[in-house]
Amino acid sequence: MSAAGLGQTMAQWKKWLAWGSGVGIEIGEADLTVVAARVRPQGVRIPGVLSIHGFRKEPAAAWGAVYSSFLGKLGLGHLSAVALLRREEVTVRQVPLPGVAPKDMEAALALHIDSLHPYPEDDVYWGWAPVAGHAAALVGIVRRDVLDTYTALFTEAGVRVAAFTFTASALYGASRLLTLPNPEGAVALRQAGDAVEIYGESAARGVWSAVVEGSPDQARALAVSELRLEPAMEAVDFAGLLPAPLAAPEEFDVAAGAASYAAALESACPKLAPPLNLLPQALRQTDSRALFIPTAALAAVVLVLAGALGISAAVEKHRYEEELAGEIRQATLQANHTRDLDRKIAETQARIQALDSFRARSKESMDTLAELTRILAPPTWLRGLDMNDREVQIAGDTAQAAALLKLLDASPKFHNSEFTMPLARVGNMENFRIRTYRKGVNP
């Protein structure tokens, strides 16, 4: 069977496993958009939608009661929601991890997470998910105080949240729930005030997300360039990536509510479309009623045993539980000590590797500068250059800046080049700022 045929077969099996109900919440600047969804193999139905206006200024208990009443009328009061943070509150990165086994990806990301954001150390929460078909991970980073504020607010309102995530993660998972993604790639846009939020996929870059100033046409052109797609690739709105609902309330605008709709799909089928969860494990809330079955069964067994064995058995059980808890505490302390030793060993090995590569660093840097000089020939002029062991950032002017990404990626010294700001034309020249990653350099 061909790879395409195998993919279609797996998609069909996955489709028949798509069964559940979920709630998605999109956090806006002033409002909350709530979508409830019921997913079945035949398609998706939306039994209800809710808009909560001015939630930041209203008492949390008041709008929380409205939310609870909304879910109660739909028979979904037991569900925990997937909440979408505002895109500007989340730093999104796709991190290449060539040669790293899936089981080692999280450890590899943890070593470099501080280099992926501008915030102080230990001042963030972060999460990741593998990018299918690529040796890379999609990483989301949010400031600790931002997420702690939302967690406290939703807790005060009585709103159960299983995951805090962002639009790129929700679209990535929800678009694969009932269908296969377009193998040629995709570009989706959403107007956000004066800016445009971009989501895109391609065989060359995997997943890409950004918010840029400018028109949708400019955003589409930038996305096509970044994703190495055909120039004629058309952009769709976010709803164009998602399965069209079989039924929905008349007031529901799928295009406007696409993000919260995608979150609801992930909430309904968390095993098939797991959200990239930025919420710490200890604060996550589950919603399946089946989770109470083991507890109820265990309670029934305990009652039967207590009646059969009497008081002496209860006392013996209590003593045994205390001994077992003491052993667990000892084992936990030993496990924590072992984990700390493993971490210190990993840090020492990383420092040794850094020292080993230090001697070759000067020559590699000079070779890199020589390669940039060759590639960025006149009429390209640089106004700034910042280089470290992992990446190079350049800023300058040229006649046609879009071609620079391909020139840099064609070099044996660079890969994964990207614009870090929209292009701006001044006279006959275009101002650009590019970040490119160095090949063959071990920081």
pLDDT in tens, 381-399: 888 898 888 899 999 999 8
| Residue 267 falls inside a structural domain | yes
The pLDDT value recorded for residue 157 is 96
| Residue 111 falls inside a structural domain | yes
Number of domain units in the chain: 2
> Could you tell me how many residues make up the chain?
443
Among candidate residues 233, 257, 287, the one where a domain is terminated: 287
Are 257 and 384 part of one and the same domain? no
- Banded model confidence at residue 195, pLDDT cuts 50, 70, 90: very high
Say yes or no to pLDDT of 143 above 50: yes
Are 283 and 367 part of one and the same domain? no
The pLDDT value recorded for residue 45 is 96
The whole-model pTM stands at 0.63
Are 263 and 139 part of one and the same domain? yes
Q: Which tokens go with 257?
A: 């509510």
pLDDT tens-digit readout, 254-268:
999 999 999 999 999
Among candidate residues 260, 287, 314, the one where a domain is terminated: 287
Residue whose C-alpha is closest to residue 373's, from 389, 385, 361, 362 = 385
Are 72 and 163 part of one and the same domain? yes
The pLDDT value recorded for residue 15 is 74
Are 249 and 384 part of one and the same domain? no
- Banded model confidence at residue 292, pLDDT cuts 50, 70, 90: very low
| Residue 373 falls inside a structural domain | yes
Residue whose C-alpha is closest to residue 218's, from 401, 29, 416, 417 = 401
Are 18 and 157 part of one and the same domain? yes
Q: Are 419 and 393 in contact (CB under 8 A)?
A: no
Are 264 and 375 part of one and the same domain? no
Say yes or no to pLDDT of 361 above 70: no
What long-range pairs does 123-132 form, CB within 8 A, spacing at least 24?
A: 125/278, 125/279, 125/280, 126/278, 127/165, 127/276, 127/277, 127/278, 128/95, 128/276, 129/169, 129/172, 129/274, 129/276, 130/102, 130/105, 131/94, 131/206, 131/207, 132/176
CATH number at 377 reads 3.30.1360.100
| Residue 223 falls inside a structural domain | no
Q: What is the pLDDT averaged over residues 347-369?
A: 73
Are 170 and 276 part of one and the same domain? yes
| Residue 226 falls inside a structural domain | no
Are 282 and 367 part of one and the same domain? no
pLDDT tens-digit readout, 32-78:
999 999 999 999 999 999 999 999 999 999 999 999 999 999 999 99
- Domain with 402, as residue range(s), is 363-438
| Residue 443 falls inside a structural domain | no
Among candidate residues 287, 315, 349, the one where a domain is terminated: 287
| Residue 327 falls inside a structural domain | no
Are 258 and 399 part of one and the same domain? no
Are 369 and 270 part of one and the same domain? no
Q: What is the pLDDT averaged over residues 82-91?
A: 95
- Banded model confidence at residue 6, pLDDT cuts 50, 70, 90: very low
CATH number at 99 reads 3.30.420.380
The pLDDT value recorded for residue 299 is 45
| Residue 325 falls inside a structural domain | no
Are 15 and 154 part of one and the same domain? yes
Question: Is 304 strand, coil or helix?
Answer: helix
